[in-house]
Amino acid sequence: MVGRAESLIKKRQNHIEIQEKWIRCAALLYKAEQEKQGTEEKKGLRTVCKEMVERCWQEDQERITVDKQTVSQRLAGIQSQAQSNAERNEALNAEESKSLISYAVNIAQRGFPLTPH
């Protein structure tokens, strides 16, 4: 709402979203750096993390920390705790939701209403 301060929870959510965005950027940049060929100088993981912190301040005016261990875990395919919890707490997994949608479309194409009227 315009004119109202954000709650502490909303501020924290925004901060975490920004931090996760820059962690993903750091992982992509580090991966690109490691794919350089020949005698080109490759940046290390700490250097990439420091650059992402500086870029975040310039672009988003947000103070964050980009930990090198977190970036290396993302590169290894390890999810964040928030992503893991979100997947675990879903009511339906992807396969179940697809089958439910196809069933509803099939019933609707046959002319049966989805409501019990």
Same domain, yes or no: 103 and 50: no
Same domain, yes or no: 18 and 74: yes
pTM above 0.85, yes or no: no
Rounded Cα distance, 92 and 84, in Å = 15
Domain with 111, as residue range(s), is 90-117
Domain count, the chain: 2
Residue 47 within a domain: yes
Q: For the residues of 22-67, what is the DSSP string, one character each?
A: HHHHHHHHHHHHHT--TTPPPPPHHHHHHHHHHHHHHHH-------
For 41-80, the pLDDT digits (tens) are 899 999 999 999 999 999 999 999 999 999 999 999 999 8
Tokens representing 96 are 């179940």
* Contact call for residues 72 and 45 (beta carbons, < 8 A): yes
For 70-82, the pLDDT digits (tens) are 999 999 999 988 8
